[in-house]
Amino acid sequence: MIIVLKPGTPREILDEIVQTVTQWSLEPHVSVGSAHVVIGLIGDTRIVSESQCYGLSPFVERVMRVEKRFKRASREFHPEPTTITVRGIPLGADHPVFTIAGPCSVESEAMIIETALAVKAAGAQFLRGGAFKPRTSPYEFQGHGESALELLAAARAASGLGIITEVMDTADIDMVAAVADVLQVGARNMQNYALLKKLGQVDKPILLKRGFSSSINEWLLAAEYILAAGNPNVLLCERGIRSFDQQYTRNVLDLSAIPVLRTLTHLPIVVDPAHATGKAQFVKSMSLAAVAAGCDGLMVEVHPTPAKALSDGAQSLTPEQFQELMGAVSHLATVFERGPRTLSTV
């Protein structure tokens, strides 16, 4: 159930309504927009009627039942797009398209700093790199762990880029959060509810990748776990889903998820064309398609020498290819009025 208040509703009236619905054993979720204040009611709303809600105050403009199972993630509860600000950079539908770039795994200090400086020079805002790697086979490179986090911190100091890195285990959250500006939940952990609940208590944004066999509803309900546990800063990342045909691409990039999510949620939408296609040669076209479809950010794998990468080399761009990609992305983003920041808007 949501209650929309008339523009100009006094603060005391809002407070009174919040108090009353709390007495009804419902949890109010208040979203203050530029024109309207929306109060979402969480809990068993079958116990209240629409007319009871209209009766709360003459300032109630509209009352609607929300049938969706995700609430805090929904546009009904939060009609305006969420802005998440990381290191002074605002991210979300109202802002320029941003780019996260870097290797699949942090391999050494020299390579992560070299990559950071190269992607920064090409226009990326964030550096990615895995310290803890979720590998399908236990015999594949698992990441350098804690020591790689220190290398990411060194790369941030050298480049000024914000750091995004994955956390796989609840036991590692504090360690990863001490370095990361944004914590990534990988596709394989999208429904690790113990992890999601703990990340709800972290004071850093979470990039939640879509599980490769997860529906959009399951994905938004996973985001809801983080939001419900108290962390409002979740970015969604589409990274390709499984299909019957894995001969030419690793996964199928669900481009239609972008406009669909836009209708369902206020959370920022990121697209990862590297894990979706699994091949560097397809990353550029899918990045441009994602920007054209309205994504808010891109995540791309870049490695100084992809052929020597310890993981995901086949889908990693060279710094030169990344620079070319960024030229094309900023050109297209400008057409959609989501172009790169000018100095005056930083």
Residues that bind Mn ion (CB under 5 A): 104, 312
Q: Which is nearer to Mn ion, 104 or 199 (CB)?
A: 104
Burial class of residue 204, CB neighbours in 10 A (0-12, 13-18, 19+): middle
Asked if 187 touches ligand PEP (CB under 6 A), the answer is: yes
Determine the Cα–Cα distance for residues 341 and 256; give it in Å rounded to an integer.
26
Asked if 134 touches ligand PEP (CB under 6 A), the answer is: yes
Residue 70's CB is within 10 A of a number of other CB atoms, namely 23
Asked if 29 touches ligand PEP (CB under 6 A), the answer is: no
Burial class of residue 315, CB neighbours in 10 A (0-12, 13-18, 19+): buried
Residue 131's CB is within 10 A of a number of other CB atoms, namely 26
Determine the Cα–Cα distance for residues 170 and 149; give it in Å rounded to an integer.
16
* Helices 216-228, 257-264: inter-axial angle, 10-degree rounding: 40
Asked if 4 touches ligand PEP (CB under 6 A), the answer is: no
Q: Which is nearer to ligand PEP, 186 or 200 (CB)?
A: 186
Q: Of all helices (H) and strands (E), which one includes residue 42? A: strand 37-42
How near is the Cβ of 191 to ligand PEP at its closest, in Å? 12
Q: Which is nearer to ligand PEP, 18 or 314 (CB)?
A: 314
Task: Determine the number of helices (DSSP H) and then strands (DSSP E) in the chain.
Answer: 11, 14
Determine the Cα–Cα distance for residues 118 and 321; give it in Å rounded to an integer.
11
Among 28, 40, 130, 278, binds ligand PEP (CB under 6 A): 130
Asked if 262 touches ligand PEP (CB under 6 A), the answer is: no
Among 73, 91, 104, 180, binds ligand PEP (CB under 6 A): 104
Residue 289's CB is within 10 A of a number of other CB atoms, namely 16
- Minimal CB distance residue for ligand PEP: 186
Dihedral, CA of residue 162, residue 184, residue 332 and residue 79, to nearest 10: -100
Asked if 329 touches ligand PEP (CB under 6 A), the answer is: no
- The partner in contact with residue 186, picked from Mn ion, ligand PEP, none with C-beta cut-offs of 5 to 8 angstroms by kind, is ligand PEP
Q: Which is nearer to ligand PEP, 29 or 303 (CB)?
A: 303
- The partner in contact with residue 187, picked from ligand PEP, Mn ion, none with C-beta cut-offs of 5 to 8 angstroms by kind, is ligand PEP
Piece of 26-34, 53-61, 183-191, 317-325 that binds ligand PEP (CB under 6 A): 183-191
Q: Which is nearer to ligand PEP, 36 or 188 (CB)?
A: 188
- The partner in contact with residue 250, picked from Mn ion, ligand PEP, none with C-beta cut-offs of 5 to 8 angstroms by kind, is none
Asked if 209 touches ligand PEP (CB under 6 A), the answer is: yes
Contact 319, 127 (CB under 8 A): no
Residues that bind ligand PEP (CB under 6 A): 104, 130, 134, 186-188, 209, 239, 275
